[in-house]
């Protein structure tokens, strides 16, 4: 080993004659808005296709008459309530207390309204809308009392030019 290589190794630099180069590798991958949109669309498509295949494989045609339309409607209305609640409290999504409050109210919704749904053989859309509004209002009060955060109901414009506006 030459004196220059020994000096370079003592200084913490690799010897040039060994062909060893250090490269900078970032610890985080930075994605553009377009890349994130493409990844989310791809993930949504894969999950949807997987769900369709699983239903087609595991739910034979002779059992589809047992699936009652009232429960599909309950699922769609519950999904609407979840999407509205999460969109109005999107800024609080990183708080563990928010998720605990949200999941408690979701469990109460599924057990309470789901029970009424089963007993009365489905409820009218107006009744479910009113009950959902009262649920959301109570959840908003609890979140405000505990976290001090109110809902954000303003319309937001997307910062990305790749997301279409309606």
pTM of the model: 0.56
Q: What per-residue confidence (pLDDT) applies to 63?
A: 66
For residue 9, being part of any structural domain is answered with no
Domain region containing 135: 68-150
Q: What percent of the chain has pLDDT over 90?
A: 14
Whether residue 88 is found in the same domain as residue 39: no
For residue 13, being part of any structural domain is answered with no
For residue 22, being part of any structural domain is answered with no
Of all helices (H) and strands (E), which one includes residue 69? helix 69-88
Whether residue 80 is found in the same domain as residue 143: yes
Whether residue 74 is found in the same domain as residue 136: yes
In angstroms, the Cα distances linking 163 to 33, 40, 157 are 9, 12, 10
Whether residue 93 is found in the same domain as residue 54: no
What is the chain's pLDDT, residue by residue, as a tens digit (166 residues)?
566 555 555 655 555 555 556 666 555 666 677 777 788 888 888 888 898 788 777 776 666 666 677 787 888 888 888 988 988 888 888 888 999 999 999 999 889 888 888 888 878 878 888 888 899 999 999 999 999 988 887 765 556 666 666 5
Q: What is the dihedral of CA 97, 103, 108, 114, to 10 degrees?
A: 170
Of the CA atoms within 13 Å of residue 120, those in its CB half-sphere come to: 12
Q: Please state the domain count of the chain.
A: 2
Of residues 63, 111, 58, 102, the one with CA closest to residue 84: 102
Whether residue 61 is found in the same domain as residue 96: no
Q: What per-residue confidence (pLDDT) applies to 5?
A: 57
Whether residue 53 is found in the same domain as residue 107: no
Whether residue 58 is found in the same domain as residue 99: no
Whether residue 60 is found in the same domain as residue 119: no
Eight-state DSSP code of residue 8: H
For residue 159, being part of any structural domain is answered with no
Q: What is the dihedral of CA 127, 132, 138, 141, to 10 degrees?
A: -130
Whether residue 62 is found in the same domain as residue 73: no
The predicted-structure confidence for 15-34, as pLDDT tens digits, reads as follows: 555 555 666 655 566 667 77
Whether residue 72 is found in the same domain as residue 115: yes
Mean pLDDT over all residues of the chain?
Answer: 78
Q: What per-residue confidence (pLDDT) applies to 103?
A: 92
Whether residue 76 is found in the same domain as residue 52: no
For residue 73, being part of any structural domain is answered with yes
For residue 27, being part of any structural domain is answered with no
């Amino acid at each position: 080993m030459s004196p220059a290589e020994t000096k370079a190794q003592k200084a913490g630099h690799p010897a040039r004659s060994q062909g060893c180069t250090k490269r900078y590798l970032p610890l985080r991958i930075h994605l553009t808005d377009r890349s994130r949109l493409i990844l989310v669309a791809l993930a949504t498509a894969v999950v949807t296709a997987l769900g369709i295949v699983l239903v087609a494989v595991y739910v034979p045609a002779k059992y589809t008459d047992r699936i009652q339309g009232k429960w599909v409607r309950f699922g769609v209305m519950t999904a609407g309530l979840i999407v509205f609640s999460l969109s109005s409290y999107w800024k609080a999504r990183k708080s563990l207390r928010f998720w605990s409050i949200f999941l408690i109210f979701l469990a109460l919704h599924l057990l309470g309204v789901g029970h009424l749904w089963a007993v009365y053989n489905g409820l009218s859309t107006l009744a479910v809308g009113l009950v959902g509004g009262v649920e959301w209002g109570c959840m908003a009060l609890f979140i405000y009392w505990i976290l001090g955060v109110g809902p954000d109901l303003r319309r937001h414009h997307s910062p990305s030019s790749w997301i279409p506006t309606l």
